[in-house]
Amino acid sequence: MAVLSVKQSWSMSSAGGDAVRRTGARGFTVLLDGADDIDRATLLGQTAPGIPRVGEAHPADGWLRAGRAQVSVRSPILLEVRVDYAVQTGGGADNPLLARPTRRWTWAVSQEEVDRAYDGKPIVNSAGQPFDMLPVAEFVDPVLEIGRNEAADNPALRIKYAAEGGAINSDPFYGAQPGQARMLAIEAEEVQSGNFIYWHKTYRVQFRAGPAGEPDSAKKAWCRRVLDQGTWGARIVQAATAGQSQLVQQIRKFVDERGFPLDRPVLLDGHGALLARGQAPTYLYFERGPRLPFGIFHL
């Protein structure tokens, strides 16, 4: 005897004049591979994956907590399960969801290659060329840690914001402009305290100002920056195709004064052409992670 599937079939809620009188209920259908014992079937219905446990929060109302599941055996393979919800009794001070969030500022220290000085000037040799090996500098970034109790967890949302090393803020956050904050982690721990079951969440956000002297510096704070160089170049030329003249991109290998292909990269201008002598090196910026709103967490 095993559970094949669990599906929610209905849900309802009722709000009274105050929070204490709020109630709710949810119904589920549980499909078995066959039941020959009603007590065993009842236990499977109460413990099947997806059936709320006693004390678990209602998905749409964190104040409502589940009671014991009531199981009706409709056939040897079909169970109907009803879970009633009510606001837990007890003084407000006992409710962990009312606890004040904690906030702590700390630091993250990292060693990273640098291609610009603190004032934004490129780090190059006396001929204006970048060094083969970039110097390494210490970065010290402020990190905000916020801990709070929540009624439910959303693993999919946590995974989404942890993608590619952490989401970048697309909206202002704690005084930081869009692009300056990176979500390091959202940790979640299920906790039971008396009759309360809740999730303790810890949010860690790292801040960085952005490259000095760059347009839209804040938006580039967490971008990966790469020197524009290579042994191949690109140019736009006019070509005739099917009797019509149009602009096309032409890729070509750079050669030296003797006509031999270059085996070392040369600096480019950001458009695929050779960088003019005396011009500052060009850097390309690539997104490090998804840009998502941090305001949805109401931190």
Per DSSP, the residues of 149-169 read EES---HHHHHHHHGGG--EE
Type of residue found at 36:
D
- Is 25:14 a contact under the CB 8 Å cutoff? no
Ranges of residues in the chain with a pLDDT under 50 are 17, 91
**What would the pLDDT profile of 225-248 be if each residue is shown by its tens digit?**
888 888 888 877 667 666 676 666
Residue 32: other Cβ atoms inside 10 A: 21
Radius of gyration, alpha carbons of the chain: 30
| Cα first-last separation, the chain | 46
Rounded Cα gap, residues 156 and 141, in angstroms: 28
pTM: 0.63
Rounded to 5 degrees, what are φ and ψ at 253? -85, 135
Tokens of 247: 């602009």
**What would the pLDDT profile of 159-188 be if each residue is shown by its tens digit?**
999 887 899 999 999 999 999 999 998 999
